[in-house]
Structure 1
Amino acid sequence: MATTPAKTFAYAPAPESRAVVDIAPSYGLFIDGEFAEAADGKVFKTVSPSSEEVLSEVAQAGAEDVDRAVKAARKAFTSWSALPGAERGKYLFRIARIIQERSREFAVLESLDNGKPIRETRDVDLPLVAAHFFYYAGWADKLRYAGYGPDPKPLGVAGQIIPWNFPLLMLAWKIAPALAAGNTVVLKPAETTPLSALFFADVVRQAGLPKGVVNIITGDGSTGAALVEHPGINKVAFTGSTEVGKAIARSVAGTTKKITLELGGKAANIVFDDAPIDQAVEGIVNGIFFNQGHVCCAGSRLLVQESVAEEVLSSLKRRMETLRVGDPLDKNTDIGAINSAEQLARITTLAEAGEAEGAERWAPSCELPSAGYWFRPTLFTNVTQAHRIAREEIFGPVLSVLTFRTPAEAVEKANNTQYGLSAGIWTEKGSRILSVANQLRAGVVWANTFNKFDPTSPFGGYKESGFGREGGRHGLEAYLDVR
């Protein structure tokens, strides 16, 4: 008797409305509580990566604008740092509540400007943004109990530069502890994703924050360089590429500026033969395909024990076939757009290098939109540690698969990188988790999960992944004079 084939149910489109966001045709620089044009009148356009639609025109800050912003922050520092911690905390609590109230607006904006799926901005980014402000609001009047001396003092003006992969979340990671500690801020968002920071300026005004405490200047790398080099900056905080991080470190060398760097990564996700395969596969997918792989701590190297490699890969490929690539504003979308044409070109170049060097490329069949910047979720097998795709940070939805036989080999391969930001371990044995984790040279090690973040937990790396910690009690140290 003939069997009836299983029915495949297609997902109907479930778009989030753009109507909740009112994007102005142009934006100025937010300095001393007011928006103003750049001194030389220069502007640039910000584009939606999923459609290549121009969203708005944004001011390009020059050295004169940076100087105005730093002076505004310096002027505001005197009164802001003198406020009792409980009073500063009230402002942070207010900001957190406003972000919660406007979370839908910010989630849609972030998906439009960045390209990531609305499910991620709505369910991950925005809750974490609010949580960071809530958390550091609680620290504002308890700094003497943070472990950095009986009466720690703020540093002064913090110059902060954030990347395009988590625009609003990285803003929260930087601004919340700085304000809690009594510092004032000049923040520069990434050139390709300036809108959420500019919308945050409106939150600052809505919360009644004193003028000059938070200043937001938009621009390219030259703007960031002017901010780092300004003599009125006491603290530099940077999240971004290792190459730029090295340049910043050279720039501040020999000065009194305090610095923290959160840079690139090439994390190993290690799957042992006793791991729960289905759970591990979900962790692998989340580890590399979350936010299109635009994650510094992405699990871009899969190290799987040889005896279960075939089973893991078979299950992983089946799971990848179900991933939906497309409109970031569709609530069914798993993988959105690559952030820019430049980033897409880099991902493409490295993927082609993987094939040229002999690795075997595989990607699920899926139709990509005709407009915008897109890349299929991809995995490479037959990868060696000499391959570029196993050594260089791709910063895209590309997974390199290597195998190992013993725990010692897994640790050796995992540590065989210039980076040291994160790692994952999958096994049912708690003793093995502790043993392997203690041998991994990574700032964050997840056990039977991946990409889990909490404002109470510190985050940061070793080696070329940077230094310093963000989040938790440890995140306050970078903004306090602890001598």
Structure 2
Amino acid sequence: MDLPVPASMLVLVDLQNDFLGRADLRPAAGVIIERAGFLLNAYRHHAMPVIHVRTTVTKDPDNRMAHWRRDDRWTCVEGSDGHSPPPSLREIEGEKLLHKQGFAAPRLVEEARAHASSKVLIAGVMTHACVRQAVLDFFQAGYEVFVAEDATGSDDPLHVASTRRFFEERGVHFAPSATLAARLLEGKPPGGRMTDKPTLRTLSSDASDFAREWRRTDLAHRTGLAMRLVQPLRERAEALARQMAVEIGKPVHFGQMEVLRSAEMIEAIARRFVHLETPAENAVIKVRRKPHGVVAIITPWNNPVYIPLGKIIPAILAGNTVLWKPAPEAASIAREIMALTRQCGWPPALLQVVEGDAHAGRALLSQPEIGAVTITASSGAGYEVAEVCARRHLPFQAELGGNNAAIVWRDADLNLAAEKIAAGAFEMTGQRCTANRRVIVHESIMEELMRLLIEKAAAMSWGDPLDPNTRIGPMVSATQRDRVDLLVQRAIREGCSTFYPLGQQPFITSDFTGSHSWLAPVVIICPDPGLEIVQEETFGPVLVVQTARDWEHALALCNGVSQGLAAALFSTSADLIRSFLDEAQAGILKINASTSDAMVDVPFGGWKASGSGPPEHGSHDLDFFTRIQTVYL
């Protein structure tokens, strides 16, 4: 039986060129415009009401808000191009347009009441200001309010995180535009497996109770339990790799490598914890390390074994228990890891899985027993977790991706550089945080490097992830494919040149069914460093090429993005290497190697928007998963 289609209306707030032109807008303006346009077209197709709200500033009289007058700011002046929306978001006949001077549109709710709608979907900018005011107005008037998270933007992401938490605690719904359109226009309920709140309360309470017992066990016992995982992982490497290929599209070559390296990593962490440095003490003072208790771990889908175990193992060796929320795309792999730990004799309350989407993550972080949080995710998710941890004074560790650049200079081995960069950009379909997203090349060798990059990329195998020879598989989902493809299409419209080394069709040799998510690897030449394709982490098979006039220009381009996870230099010059190591703003630097990949037990962490808190791995594990206590005797 079909579900009844609920009545709803769409409200677009301040989608105007002056606001959308801000370089610090997140998500980027291109994403907001595309997703808001998707909603607008969907509501028009279903003949649902639409209201446009715009800020309109006049000079006579001067109706600017007080802080704009103070800052001598003229934004969205009536009749200017900045006052207008992009063409795709302009109103048509029958759609209401309301003007406002401040945060609120005085007649917004009154106009909305003319429509038989009990639900309202809001998109626009700024999320923490005018969008927030619209949500408050509708919420207070008794409407059920929905916010399209990918069609709303702000220049203050931490404020957005606080705003979102405030509203969600009161029943306002945040979700991607496609999810909300399906729910509000087609009557499709939200889906997916999710740990319910009573179960989560039980899991958190059990983890806290067991933490008091676990912290009193000796290190040899904890290490022994961790080491029991090593051999089963090695024995299950092929099966787990196949599961990754089927469920997330990861080529079996890299899936098997991931599982085997996870086993190697456990051994390295265990060896290091055996030789822990004893804190200094004397007859009067004793300094000791104490575990946090319950650690919340939130992990992505792209490395569904290595990344979680890289957090779980040091957490439990330090004396903590763990509540682990894996990405929904990798939930079944998480269940396999959980089953292995049970087979290896791990106590049930030592490691427990919380399933679900971002809402499950927020519910996890609200549990009072949580003592610390570590996350690998997008920068948006990082802001949300940072806001919660700041409010609750919880230790916080985040790895938030990278927009990594390799500089190729005139004295470099161009054949080596092209081979390494092509592999770093396109292997695993670019779906890893250290992928080589950008290459910065001296203008005098641009043409030769491009020729070699195309040649090396064309020699790579793109296709069936179940084939051991495949190095480039599909995207994890059609949603991710479409996101990256739209970004590439926007870059083309903005004047960038594109090259497809492997054509448009992958090579399929088995019964793999993920053909819906293929995206052709692409090399993009982009002369404008301010464009979205340069500034945003694509997390797909996209390599952006930028040219540099001189060395200072190359360093400026390398550092000219918000993230700073990894950077590389291809050169034989000792002077340039010294300069690069001194000036590059990234947590991981490489010489004559791609930015991709890292060793199993050395510090891993980014600068700027790529990370927060101490790095993962190496000696810093102990710094994050324990806290210092000084005892006066």
TM-score band w.r.t. shorter chain: 0.7 to 0.9
**1:350-369 alignment to 2 at 5 Å?**
350-364=487-501, 365-368=503-506
The correspondence of residues 152-191 of structure 1 with structure 2, limited to 5 A, is 152-191=289-328
Kindly indicate whether the alpha-carbon contact (under 8 Å) linking 1:418 and 1:464 is maintained by their aligned counterparts in 2: yes
* Matched AA of 2:272: W
CA-to-partner distance for each residue in 1:269-289, whole Å, 9 max, x for gaps? Answer: 111111111211121112211
Contact map agreement 2:474 2:515 (CA 8 A) in 1 = no
Sequence identity (%): 30
Aligned match for 2:545, one of 401, 411, 417 = 401
**For 1:291 and 1:145, how far apart are their aligned partners in 2?**
41
Q: Return the letter of the residue paired with 2:268.
A: Y
Which position in structure 2 is the counterpart of 1:204?
A: 341
Residues in 1 aligned to 2:558 and 2:432: alpha-carbon distance in whole angstroms:
18
Q: Distance in 2 between matches of 1:280 and 1:475?
A: 33
Could you tell me which residue of structure 1 aligns to residue 605 of structure 2?
Answer: 460
Task: Provide TM-score, normalisation by structure 2.
Answer: 0.65
Are the aligned partners of 1:91 and 1:209 in contact in 2 as well (CA < 8 Å)?
A: yes
Matching residue of 2:32 = none
**Partner of residue 264, structure 1:** 401
Distance in 2 between residues matched to 1:129 and 1:284, nearest whole Å: 25
**Native 8 Å contact 2:205 2:369 kept in 1:** yes
SS in 2 for 1:193: helix
Deviation at 1:209, TM superposition (A): 1.1
For the residue of structure 1 that corresponds to 2:554, the secondary structure is helix
Match of 1:49 in 2: none
Number of the residue aligned with 1:78: 212
Q: Partner residue of 1:144?
A: 277
**RMSD over aligned Cα atoms:** 1.9
Aligned mates of 1:147, 1:236 — CA distance in 2: 27
User: Would you say 1:128 and 2:261 are equivalent positions?
Assistant: yes
Matched, 1:329 2:469: no
Deviation at 1:146, TM superposition (A): 8.4
Cα offset for 1:434? 2.8
Say whether residues 1:389 and 2:530 are aligned partners: no
Aligned-partner SS, 2:523: strand
Q: Name the count of aligned residue pairs.
A: 426
Alpha-carbon distance in structure 1 between the residues aligned to 2:522 and 2:456: 12
User: Counterparts in 2 of 1:82-481, with a 5 A limit?
Assistant: 82-123=216-257, 125-145=258-278, 151-364=288-501, 365-368=503-506, 371-450=515-594, 451-467=596-612, 468-481=614-627
* Code of the aligned partner of 2:556: E
Structure (1 or 2) with the larger CA radius of gyration: 2
Unaligned runs of 5+ in 1: 1-56
Distance across 2 between alignment mates of 1:481 and 1:330: 46
CA distance in structure 1 between the partners assigned to 2:444 and 2:413 by the alignment: 14
Structure 2: tracts of 5 or more residues without a match: 1-190, 509-513
Matched to 2:521, the amino acid is P
The 3 A distance-change label for structure 1 pair 152 and 431 is: farther
The Cα shift of 1:173 comes to 1.5
For the residues of structure 2 that align with 1:351 and 1:423, how far apart are their CA atoms?
A: 23
For the 8 Å contact 1:144–1:151, the answer to whether it is kept is: no
Residue 436 (structure 1) shift:
0.6
Question: 1:147, CA displacement in angstroms?
Answer: 9.3
1:127 is displaced (CA, Å) by 2.2
Could you tell me whether the CA contact under 8 Å between 1:328 and 1:335 is conserved in 2? yes
Contact 2:269 2:601 in 1 (8 A): no
| 1:94-119 deviations in Å (ceiling 9; x for gaps) | 11222112211111112222111111
Query: Higher RCO, 1 or 2 (CA under 8 Å, sep at least 6)?
Result: 1
1:211-268 superposed Cα distances (whole Å, 9 cap, x missing partner): 2001112111110111112111001111111011101111222313111111132111
Supply the distance in 1 between the matched residues of 2:245 and 2:494 (Cα, whole angstroms): 35
Please tell me whether the aligned partners of residues 242 and 252 of structure 2 are also in contact (alpha carbons under 8 angstroms).
Answer: yes
